Structure 1
Amino acid sequence: MINRCKEGDPGAQYELYRLYSRAMFNTALRICGNREEAEDVLQEAFLNAFKHIDSYREDATFGAWLKRIVVNKSITSLRKNQKETLMMEEVAELEEESMSIGDEVTGLSVERVKTALMDLPKGFRSVLSLYLFEGYDHKEISDILGITESTSKSQYKRAKDKLKIILKQEVKYG
């Protein structure tokens, strides 16, 4: 199918899009946190992938190669919107509720956890997604987002704490 795409076969392109679009959309959504932005990123990523399909060397799976494009496009989108993004230093006044380690949040659906993730401020969500879901380390995140490594670490910790608070409230009031 990749060879057919390299030859410009629209049917093969459609088939690859059909196979990978849902997973790639979810990746973009986790990073961008906005459905419209994630849809734009997805379209740009596929256009870019098909335009540069000749650079795909098959030393990794097509999905891994495409995911790298999606992550890069998502990060570019984040950078474009960075002026609007609330970074952790600006959100320090958020209430700092503590939750003991033994306090477990249970009975939540995957959908509720996804929704809670989207309820996080963009800066929190970006660092958490890049670290947990995309596998970047704090040094890489600091380079990607243009923040210090210690800021990445503190944003990650605060994002986890805030997510716990949101989920704890859901269990309490849901």
Structure 2
Amino acid sequence: MEKGTFQDVNAQVVQRCREGDNRAQYELYKLYSKAMFNVSMRITNDYAESEDVLQEAFISAFKNLHSYKAEASFGSWLKRIVINASVNAVRKRRSELVPLEDRIAGDIPDEEYDDDTEWQVEQVRRAIQRLPDGYRVVLSLYLLEGFDHAEIGEVLGISESTSKSQYSRARKKLLEIMKDTHSMA
């Protein structure tokens, strides 16, 4: 595939969406839904909630497609919508005061791993899931989504220094969880 071809096809599909073509909307959904679900899952830490966020984000994107200016890729624009919707879902959950332990207890089956690296990655993933919401969100945005602390502050409505301190605390907590998990094994 030639360089720029994907962006050109994307631009054509986006234009067809703007013209009300439902097939084009489905094409964009197929192109981006898995990646956007994974972004949401890393932030919300809840499968069903991530599915809801994904649907909400696509509906919002299609309704607001007129505001997409193609200054960034469509995927980047959509990712920002997904991240904002995911953060809002976590905030809503916090306001409902549902204990985190109730959300993650027992939802991950124990599996045997042949590959030691795969096992280690799974251990880190599980440890990240055990982080408190605030820590997990900042850690995910910084490490996995590539946001800097100023961007995280903007998305979460916190200062850059608060983002840095949350990230630092998240790293320490993650190491504690990993150490505790390792000593239990």
> Could you tell me the percent identity over the aligned residues?
54
Instruction: Give the structure 2 partner of residue 93 of structure 1.
Output: none
Q: Matches of 1:41 and 1:58 in 2, distance apart?
A: 23
Instruction: Give the structure 2 partner of residue 158 of structure 1.
Output: 169
SS in 2 for 1:58: coil
- Which structure shows the bigger proportion of residues in helix conformation? 2
| Letter in structure 2 aligned against 1:137 | D
Aligned-residue offset at 1:162: 1.5
The reply to whether residue 168 of structure 1 matches residue 172 of structure 2 is no
RMSD: 2.5
CA contact (8 A) 1:118 1:125 kept: yes
CA contact (8 A) 2:84 2:155 kept: no
CA contact (8 A) 2:141 2:147 kept: yes
Aligned-residue offset at 1:155: 2.0
| Letter in structure 2 aligned against 1:129 | S
Aligned-residue offset at 1:13: 1.3
Match of 1:34 among 34, 46, 60: 46
Q: Matches of 1:142 and 1:3 in 2, distance apart?
A: 32
Unaligned runs of 5+ in 2: 1-12, 100-115
Instruction: Give the structure 1 partner of residue 37 of structure 2.
Output: 25
| Letter in structure 2 aligned against 1:78 | V
Q: Matches of 2:72 and 2:163 in 1, distance apart?
A: 28
The reply to whether residue 132 of structure 1 matches residue 147 of structure 2 is no
Matches within 5 A, 1:73-112: 73-83=85-95, 84=97, 107=117, 108-112=119-123
TM-score (norm 1): 0.75
Aligned-residue offset at 1:37: 1.8
Residue correspondences, number: 155
**Cα distance, 1:141–1:35 mapped onto 2, change above 3 Å:** same
Unaligned runs of 5+ in 1: 87-105
Aligned-residue offset at 1:149: 4.2
